Amino acid sequence: MNIQNQIIKVTQRAVKDLYAADLSEDQISLQETRKEFEGHFTLVTFPIIRFSKKSPEQTGQEIGEYLKNEIDSIVDFNIIKGFLNLVLSSDYWFERLQTEITDPDHGFFPKNGKKLMLEYSSPNTNKPLHLGHIRNNLLGYSVAEILKAYGYEVIKANLVNDRGIHICKSMLSWKLYGDGETPESSGLKGDHLVGKYYVRFDKEYKKQIKGLISSGHTEEEAKKNAPLIKEAQSMLQKWEAHDPEVVELWRMMNGWVYAGFAETYKQLGVDFDKYYYESDTYLLGKDIIQEGLESGVFYKKDDNSVWIDLTDDGLDEKLVLRGDGTSVYITQDLGTAQLKYDDFKIDESIYVVGNEQDYHFKVLFLILKKLGKSWAEGLFHLSYGMVDLPSGKMKSREGTVVDADDLIEEMISTAKARTEELGKVSDFSSEEKEKLYYNIGLGALKYFLLKVEPKKRLLFDPNESIDFQGHTGPFIQYTYARINSVLNKSGFNVETIVEKPTVFKESELDLIQLLDRFPEKIEASAKEFSPAQLANYIYDLSKLYNKFYHEESILKAEDEHIKNFRLKLSKVTALTIAKGMKLLGIDVPERM
RNA sequence: GCCUCCAUAGCUCAGCUGGAUAGAGCAACGGUUUUCUAAACCGUCGGUCACAAGUUCGAAUCUUGUUGGGGGUACCA
């Protein structure tokens, strides 16, 4: 049992003994003592005075004495109004450092026996990835890693949107204007080549619409009847009928895109355990529609379309199958949800998808519950905010997107420029240098995106480069490298016997306390699916370490005991930083 | 129209289940290097927590309303 729980338990007993009242756990408010006061934990006694019928000061005094008598680690306390500040012994904190914090598994939880699928990325195969996808990928990857650390077995899944009218647009456009261009012949990355034809389609299509409007059609008619869109639709029908020529073209172009995506994923350091392809799953879900019709959850309208009435739940009536028997988006998603469960018997299933689809997932999960699926309770939409530019939303067709590959490249070259300016690694081989630039560049990018709460929209200004100083990934990486440098010079290893110093310096004690909270932060990040919580913690830890580093000399400490103690503290800080950053998908360099 | 999310320093963000004088970074200004990596550290400046009412011993945090912005909205995904 940790000290917080112990304090809570004993407080309950104190209130019972002293005031003959039963206090539930959530009636007790225990928090970290604020920096400006003496103590480590603070019990807020305001809620207790209605039982004690005494002043906050006196109540605090009585409970303080009780706690001090009962818990060895509490050596002192002070009271300011309704705040009882508890002071723990230096023995307690040193013990924490020697045991829990030094444990290589500090921060990691035992396996909880639960299996969870986390779907992220899920790109369309008609254009390259952009900054919005980067956020999705980094978020998905990091949440998956955090959940593993929290004890889950995690299956990372990617549901590739590889079919549909938008894919046919690129295909048709390439066929008409491509002149046999390939990634090899053009030197273009496959996904970019395909994206080029997607944009070209839109351009030509708009031209046709304009032409039709000027010859007297309404805009709506023009959009519907333009020859290009007609042709794309007929291509989609051919694809669905397994027309060999269309399928061949589809295979070839998707192959280009996959090769391109694989490169981007590799650069981002994300991976997947299971790929689902919409071309395999788009017909799923129809049996579920049948099932729902039989059980009366769904109903049929005169035109044969199938609906569900969700007005009692504050939502609308929702179409789940078209009148002609073809699927809509949600039909497939119903089927795919079932497939995921059938494949892996997962306890929980998380979808990392932007908040523009909040309504869709609300409906999807509600329908599955109404259908009585036992696993529906374990579904969760991890909804994240859009990445906006100062000019507003990114739009691929208007060319206002921040391309993923370009941005990554830019981050690496900026990292290179900064590093060369500082000139600290001139003795590195060119391979080592490349690796370092990559780590720092990606570290800056990843941290920039992950430090913001997923739910919030994120502003990215392409004209202002992402920082490498202050609250950033490189700052944390630098802290790690700095510690590493000291450790290397010292010859310290984990086995070195460390004795408790007679007095702790303020920054030393602060550091131990903060390190002690690492597991708590992992837990919070896992429960809230929020890498931001962890990211901000690692920053606080790094900042605190730098303060300590600046205030106290390590290698030239007063004596050998203190030196070893500080080395130990440095070592575990470095390990904690590295573990935490790993969960964000960021590597820390040994030198920079 | 209806539903939903958001609003904290000039800018980008923290602020845990309601708790003490609301914190960081960037930007601006000043200081720290014969001493372990200055991608660092220290200081100054900067706030009506959008606005109003309510609940409470106590509200940036909870409730309601108002304003402003994002997203969604019945056969797109």
Inside any domain, residue A314: yes
* Residue found under tokens 């998603």: A333
> What CATH number does the domain containing A573 carry?
1.10.730.10
Question: What local confidence, expressed as pLDDT, does residue A22 receive?
Answer: 87
How many angstroms separate the CA atoms of A162 and A148, rounded?
29
Mark whether A302 and A381 lie in a shared domain. no
* Nearest partner of A194 among A125, A141, A243, judged by Cα: A125
The whole-number Å distance from A504's CA to B58's C1' is: 35
Which nucleotide is the nearest neighbour of A46, by CA and C1'? B57
* Nearest partner of A351 among A276, A267, A268, judged by Cα: A276
Mark whether A429 and A566 lie in a shared domain. yes
Mark whether A425 and A277 lie in a shared domain. no
Mark whether A260 and A298 lie in a shared domain. no
Mark whether A366 and A510 lie in a shared domain. no
> What CATH number does the domain containing A377 carry?
3.40.50.620
Q: Judging by beta carbons within 10 Å of its beta carbon (0-12, 13-18, 19+), is residue A479 exposed, middle or buried?
A: buried
Domain boundary among A59, A88, A117: A88
How many angstroms separate the CA atoms of A545 and A466, rounded?
24
Number of structural domains chain A divides into: 4
The whole-number Å distance from A407's CA to B77's C1' is: 26
Domain boundary among A361, A381, A398: A398
* Nearest partner of A468 among A424, A523, A413, judged by Cα: A413
Inside any domain, residue A394: yes
Residue A549 lies in domain: 404-583
How many angstroms separate the CA atoms of A589 and A592, rounded?
7
Q: In this structure, are strands A299-300 and A274-277 parallel, antiparallel, or unpaired?
A: unpaired
Inside any domain, residue A97: no
Q: Given its phi and psi angles, is residue A304 left (phi above 0), alpha (psi -120 to 50 degrees) or beta? A: left
Strands (E), A33-183: 41-44, 74-80, 83-88, 115-119, 153-160
Inside any domain, residue A512: yes
The whole-number Å distance from A35's CA to B24's C1' is: 15
The whole-number Å distance from A356's CA to B69's C1' is: 15
Where chain A has pLDDT below 70, the residues are: 1, 397
The whole-number Å distance from A546's CA to B23's C1' is: 18
Inside any domain, residue A99: no
Mark whether A154 and A284 lie in a shared domain. yes
- In sequence order, the 6+-apart residues with CB closer than 8 A to the CB of A491 are none
CB atoms near residue A368 (< 10 Å): 22
The two tokens of residue A207 are: 């031209």
Domain boundary among A375, A398, A421: A398
Question: What local confidence, expressed as pLDDT, does residue A492 receive?
Answer: 87
The two tokens of residue A13 are: 């007993």
How many angstroms separate the CA atoms of A556 and A554, rounded?
5
How many angstroms separate the CA atoms of A561 and A580, rounded?
28
Question: What local confidence, expressed as pLDDT, does residue A245 receive?
Answer: 95
Task: State the DSSP code for A33.
Answer: P
Which nucleotide is the nearest neighbour of A78, by CA and C1'? B20
CB A544 within 8 A of CB A514: yes
With distances taken from each CA to the C1' atom of nucleotide B76, the closest residue turns out to be A329
CA dihedral A403, A405, A408, A413 (to 10 degrees): -110
Mark whether A430 and A547 lie in a shared domain. yes
Mark whether A146 and A233 lie in a shared domain. yes
Question: What local confidence, expressed as pLDDT, does residue A311 receive?
Answer: 85
Containing H/E element for A566? Answer: helix A560-583
Residues facing A119 on adjacent strands = A157, A351
Inside any domain, residue A588: no
Question: A227-240 and A244-268 are packed helices; what angle lies between their axes, rounded to 10 degrees?
Answer: 90
Inside any domain, residue A119: no
Give chain A's length.
592
The whole-number Å distance from A320's CA to B22's C1' is: 49
Mark whether A199 and A298 lie in a shared domain. no
CB A346 within 8 A of CB A117: yes
Which nucleotide is the nearest neighbour of A315, by CA and C1'? B3
Strands (E), A207-268: none
Query: Rounded to whole angstroms, what are the CA distances from A443 to A70, A261, A433, A439?
Result: 47, 20, 15, 6
Mark whether A145 and A263 lie in a shared domain. yes
Question: What local confidence, expressed as pLDDT, does residue A549 receive?
Answer: 96
CB A47 within 8 A of CB A36: no
CB atoms near residue A36 (< 10 Å): 5
Question: A131-149 and A430-450 are packed helices; what angle lies between their axes, rounded to 10 degrees?
Answer: 90
What three-state secondary structure class fits A94?
Answer: helix
Inside any domain, residue A53: yes
Question: What local confidence, expressed as pLDDT, does residue A2 receive?
Answer: 85
Mark whether A220 and A306 lie in a shared domain. no
Mark whether A152 and A281 lie in a shared domain. yes
Residues facing A348 on adjacent strands = A116
Which nucleotides of strand B are protein-proximal, with an atom < 7 A from a CB?
Answer: 3-7, 11-17, 19-21, 24-27, 35-42, 57-58, 70-77
